[in-house]
Amino acid sequence: MRIPLSWLRDYVDFNVDAQTLAHDLTMSGTKIEAVHAPAPEWQGVQVGRVLESGQHPNADKLSVCRVDVGGEELRIVCGAPNVRAGLTVAVATVGARLPGGVKIRKSKIRGEVSQGMICSARELGLGTDAAGILELDSALESGAPFTGVPGSDETVLEAEITPNRPDCLGLIGVAREVAAVYGTPLKRPPVWSEAVAEPAPVRIELADVQDGLRYLGRAIRDVEVGPSPAWMQARLASMQLEPINNVVDVTNYVLFETGQPIHAFDLAAVRGDRIIVRRARAGEKLRTLDGVDRELDPDILVIADAEGPVALAGIMGGVESAIQPSTRDVFLEVAHFRADLVRSGRRKLAIDTDASYRFERGTDAASVRWVADRATQLLLEVCGGAVREQHDDAYPRPLAPIRLHLRSARANRLIGTELGAAEMARLLQRLQLEAEPAEAGVDVEVPTFRRDLQAEIDLVEEVARVHGYDNIPEDVLPPAPLMQRPNARHEFLTRLRHTLVGLGYREVLTSAFMDRSDPDRLQLASDDVRRRVVRVRNPLVASLDTLRTSLVPNVVRVVRHNIHHGSAALRLFAVDRVYVAVEDSSEGLPQESERLVAVACGARRPEGWAETLQASDLFDLKGDAEALLEHLGVDSVWSAGYTEPFLDFAASFMISGSYGTVGGGGLVAEEVLRAYDVDTPVFLLDLDVDALVRHLPERRVFKGIPRFPAVKRDLSLVVPRRVAYEKVHAAVVGAGGPLLESINCFDVFEDRALGEDKHSIGLRLRFRSPERTLTDDVVDRQIDAIVRRLSETLGVELRRL
Amino acid sequence: MVEQAGALRQRIATMRDTALAQLQSVADREALEAWRVRWVGRKGELSALFVSLSGFDSAQRPQLGRELNTLKSTLHEELQQVESRLRGDSGAGPKVDASLPGRPRWVGGHHIALQVLDEMLAIFERLGFSIATGPEVELESYNFEALNFPPNHPARDLQDTFWIDDRVLLRTQTSPMQVRIMRSQPPPVRIVVPGRVYRNEQIDASHAAEFFQLEGLYVDRNVSMIDLKATVSHFVQRLFGSGRSVRFKPHFFPFTEPSVDVDMTCFACQGRGCRVCGNEGWIEIMGAGMVHPNVFEASGYDPEEVTGFAFGMGIERISMLRHGINDIRLFLENDVRFLSQF
């Protein structure tokens, strides 16, 4: 909402500058977002008329113009698309200085002399429009100094009006707030009041009567349609509205003044002698003022004459009944429609007008008559004519007045004040509320223009803001802590994230949306649960309408982004939500759960002088995954091969625990990487956070530090390649007996001498007894058992050197 | 002051000459130790010069400090050389070149938005707030209706919404958790709710369609706006540093009344007015207010029995303010050149 200060002064006096007023209004609840200072004064800028505009010989987008600046003719090169002969423009002549600090010199532009500049609004400091040159009123005399455009000499505040305060969508409402802030009186503009005897020429009929519906129609005869006076045009310009004609300008003026939208019909275009407010009938059509043919239906409230709709109630008038230059008699409408009906109608038709904006937030039904008299006053003043007949004012079910009681104890309890009832009454009276102290509180009769005040709590807020929030102390200790409820899940997620950071991974935060095509790109099977997606009905971008069921696509996109921007060695992770549609959930909502995805790609270590650069491989990722789970204390079983369509099965591993799969990792399949435009190997870990939580140790119990030394034995084994390490490991565990404490694979060795299909694996075994120091022969017996088992079951032999 | 700086420079030069000359005549380890104690020892002459630095103003101190540091490293280097000479070292150079960089390691780090969120949560946890999280795909009834947004009301236009179907949406705020929590437990309640929220808005440098919020809710028998202001004031001093104050500007949210926008003293200019705060001296950091009686009723609490405050703030916005980040799109882009700065 724009608030031109000179206009505001018509309704209230204030002796502060614009900045102070902006601050005081903001602090009392009318948030001022900007203060537009009046336009600067221009030196060396003149009104000019374009005599001729021709193509620049050396530049497609430039024109060379001849411009008359009052007896003198200038040649000016201009780049604006809207320059044309006959236009009245603002010309910055040589020597002029523009508000941005630009100084105009005589120059050559692509070989053509230019003796000045034809200015856009932005170059003149008149706003942000730089799309073309500013087109001036053709009545201006060329050569005259440029003095701005109508309204540009005005200081304007820009206010954010919240939906609860439609009364402030008119300047009188804002003036009321100013009056409350400074304790000054409100000034009312003059209204028409004459007695007329003739009966109303048009009868108002209300079909579909609801509470508050009101429609006043008045005929104004013999007007002269033409341009409105300069003062009115200037005021509309300060609202950034183009003048149309004096009748329409008055309706707009009254809208900004009072916040009550009104409409003027050409009375001659009203067929029959009645106006009906009713729901549209299915199939009815109306061409509205914006030239669009609209299909109507019974959800839309219309104004109709005897033959059909002439306007969309509260939204926009029809073309047929619009005011024309030839209009002699005006039919003035001032009405109150139910807010939600206007809202659903305009939403259905996808239009938003100054009128519907106000109606859907609520207008003042009780002020309809006053606004009609005010509009009549201005119409007669500006367009001539006369009122000879009575109006018809249909208001069958007036809104009941709202009376509230405010308990001062309740207000003080909420605000933290110790105000008395009389003080509260005084604060409320400053807002033009009728407030009287009464039994431990205040009785309030809510004025009709403040129907947002519906309950006691609304009055508490009014007391608080007029009293001033600065009066609330802030140096009081915050309230003492309550017993807290631990959030184990949040704590675990935090611990998980911290552990990954400790392992050298960088946390990323990606979009909750994935691309529609991501399940295909991940090669998910048709019955994969991650195809049960949740879709948004109204996405920003059509392809991004799907909530992610996996973190993988967006994390891979981050990898791609960074590789493309020069960072090829990456360790990244995300712990975040995925969303899977479920049938028969208790509230019909999808299942939301957290997953962990970590990726490693590029060099194994950051580049340094002490090591040669090596590429990361599966075991870098797997080692980090092992460290993560060991740190968390998760008791897990690892095996080769993880059936995940986006991983290369041959280079993958699966992690499971006693309650099922926890997740797995591996090399991302080549086709998948290609689908995401990544051309280096990426190793990826994908874990189910819920499964991790299920496998967490409840409590770790101290086992005692071993008192006896361990016996260490190294085995060098020749292993057929078809035998996976995990089989060897299992066999050693199986034959090692209770004294075998640990197995560490310390070497994997390739040697042609062993034969093509064999390699050597070095194992370091530790044996320990909790009761005594082990002797060699005890350990030897276990080693023999292990070697026998390996040989018999797997064909694995000791290496002979 | 100028003479004093000149005098100090003179003393530096003299000390350099004298100390180095004396060092030349040192013949054994005993004499070397005596030299060390006199010139570069803890109470030696070099220390005394450093102490005298505190008498200079902040304009001169850095330059003089640098000159003193140069003297210090010269003396120490010469000392080392004499020491190795006395020890009988060949002087063939050090065994390792300790000036080479170490073996580099991967340096992990948290995403800046989550770092800031973690810090905020820690502050509120110390104030006795528990952490709760809830669904992002939410019922319309929790996101709007129970929060006192009447159906078909313009207040709903304040938050452009992504809809799944007629009754399910992507939450536009973390506030629906207020209702979920109150329906699940009796008062008192003191929770913070972190989480992602969604707005169907065109994305630009300052608007994101998905971002994180932190919601706070405190309900008890006699909670007032004083408690709100004290809590928020404590919070901003912990997150942005002491000396900040907060102010309330009246505002409108359907689910609180009174409702306020909370400003804090601009941290860049301490309230004098600068580019960061648009010359205001104040920066808007959150919306807040007293829980609306209709919300209590929708949650099964008796508004005559309990009162409460609620607040909500955008994590990215606060991170941008605190760290001078100028484009919200950087948060989801995850360029490591961005991530690694924090």
The answer to whether residues A111 and A67 touch, using CB atoms and an 8 Å cutoff, is no
Q: Enumerate residues 6+ apart whose C-beta is below 8 A from B41.
A: B47
Q: Is B171 on the interface with A (CB under 8 A)?
A: no
Residue pairs between chains A and B whose CB atoms are closer than 8 Å: 241
Q: Do A579 and B113 touch (CB under 8 A)?
A: no
% residues pLDDT > 70 (chain A): 100
Give the Cβ contact number of residue A660 at 10 Å: 10
Buried b (16+ CB within 10 A) or exposed e, A241-252: bebbbbbbbbbb
Coil/strand/helix, residue B186: coil
- From chain B residues 230-259, the ones with a CB under 8 A of any chain A CB are 230-234, 245-252, 257-259
Q: Supply the CATH number for residue B253's domain.
A: 3.30.930.10
> Do B82 and B121 belong to one domain?
no
Domain that holds residue B205: 112-339
Q: Supply B39's token pair.
A: 């010139």
Confidence of residue A710 (pLDDT cuts 50, 70, 90): very high
User: Is B103 part of a structural domain of the chain?
Assistant: no
B201-B207-B209 Cα angle (round to 5): 45
Q: Tens digit of pLDDT for each residue in A666-692?
A: 999 999 999 999 999 999 999 999 999
User: Is B96 part of a structural domain of the chain?
Assistant: no
The answer to whether residues A546 and A521 touch, using CB atoms and an 8 Å cutoff, is no
Q: Is A560 on the interface with B (CB under 8 A)?
A: no
> Do B207 and B240 belong to one domain?
yes
User: Is B97 part of a structural domain of the chain?
Assistant: no
User: Is B176 part of a structural domain of the chain?
Assistant: yes
The answer to whether residues B162 and B198 touch, using CB atoms and an 8 Å cutoff, is yes
- Alpha-carbon gap, residue B175 to B134, rounded angstroms: 10
> Do B50 and B141 belong to one domain?
no
> Do B77 and B202 belong to one domain?
no
Q: Supply A378's token pair.
A: 């201005």
pLDDT at A430: 92
Average pLDDT taken over every residue of chain A: 92
Nearest by CB to A478, which of B125, B231, B332?
B231
- Alpha-carbon gap, residue B266 to B268, rounded angstroms: 5
Four-point Cα dihedral A740, A743, A746, A752, nearest 10:
90
Chain B nearest C-alpha distance from A751 (Å): 31
Beta bridge partners of A514: A546
Q: Tens digit of pLDDT for each residue in A72-81?
A: 889 999 988 8
Using a CB-CB distance cutoff of 8 angstroms, which residues of chain A are in contact with residue B199?
A: none
- From chain A residues 587-616, the ones with a CB under 8 A of any chain B CB are 587-590, 592, 605-611
Chain A nearest C-alpha distance from B44 (Å): 40
The answer to whether residues A644 and A522 touch, using CB atoms and an 8 Å cutoff, is no
> Do B165 and B45 belong to one domain?
no
**Which amino acid, one-letter code, is at A44?**
G
The answer to whether residues A90 and A76 touch, using CB atoms and an 8 Å cutoff, is no
Q: Is A361 on the interface with B (CB under 8 A)?
A: yes
Looking up tokens 């809510």, which residue turns up? A446
From B55, B90, B125, the end of a domain falls on B90
> Do B38 and B173 belong to one domain?
no
pLDDT at A145: 87
Q: What is the DSSP letter of A269?
A: G
> Do B137 and B19 belong to one domain?
no
User: Is B104 part of a structural domain of the chain?
Assistant: no
Q: Tens digit of pLDDT for each residue in B279-320?
A: 888 999 999 999 999 999 999 999 999 999 999 999 999 999
Looking up tokens 């008359």, which residue turns up? A68
> Do B198 and B69 belong to one domain?
no
> Do B276 and B244 belong to one domain?
yes
Count of domains for chain B: 2
User: Is B102 part of a structural domain of the chain?
Assistant: no
Buried b (16+ CB within 10 A) or exposed e, B15-39: beeebeeebeebeeeeebeebbeeb
- Alpha-carbon gap, residue A394 to B267, rounded angstroms: 58
The answer to whether residues A737 and A765 touch, using CB atoms and an 8 Å cutoff, is no
Residue in A221, A226, A321, A229 with CA at minimum distance from that of residue A270 = A321
Chain B residue at shortest CA distance from A581? B137
Q: Tens digit of pLDDT for each residue in B45-68?
A: 888 888 888 888 888 888 888 888
Using a CB-CB distance cutoff of 8 angstroms, which residues of chain A are in contact with residue B331?
A: 509
Chain A residue at shortest CA distance from B131? A487
Q: Do B104 and A606 touch (CB under 8 A)?
A: yes
Q: Do A609 and B101 touch (CB under 8 A)?
A: yes
Using a CB-CB distance cutoff of 8 angstroms, which residues of chain A are in contact with residue B196?
A: 512, 577
Q: Do B164 and A162 touch (CB under 8 A)?
A: no
> Do B176 and B273 belong to one domain?
yes
What ipTM was predicted for this assembly? 0.85
Residue in B175, B135, B134 with CA at minimum distance from that of residue B155 = B175
- Alpha-carbon gap, residue A745 to A726, rounded angstroms: 11
> Do B180 and B48 belong to one domain?
no
DSSP for A9-22, written as a single string:
TTTB---S-HHHHH
User: Is B100 part of a structural domain of the chain?
Assistant: no
- The separation between the first and the last C-alpha atoms of chain B, rounded to the nearest angstrom, is 41
Q: Tens digit of pLDDT for each residue in B170-227?
A: 999 999 999 999 999 999 999 999 999 999 999 999 899 999 999 999 999 999 999 9
User: Is B105 part of a structural domain of the chain?
Assistant: no
> Do B303 and B334 belong to one domain?
yes
Chain A nearest C-alpha distance from B248 (Å): 6
- Alpha-carbon gap, residue A549 to A518, rounded angstroms: 9
From B59, B90, B121, the end of a domain falls on B90
Q: Do A469 and B259 touch (CB under 8 A)?
A: no
% residues pLDDT > 90 (chain A): 75
Q: Do B104 and A501 touch (CB under 8 A)?
A: no
Q: Enumerate residues 6+ apart whose C-beta is below 8 A from A462.
A: A427, A428, A431, A433, A453
Chain A nearest C-alpha distance from B67 (Å): 33
Q: Tens digit of pLDDT for each residue in A150-205?
A: 777 789 999 999 999 999 999 999 999 999 999 899 999 999 999 998 999 999 99
**Cα R_g (chain B), whole angstroms:** 31
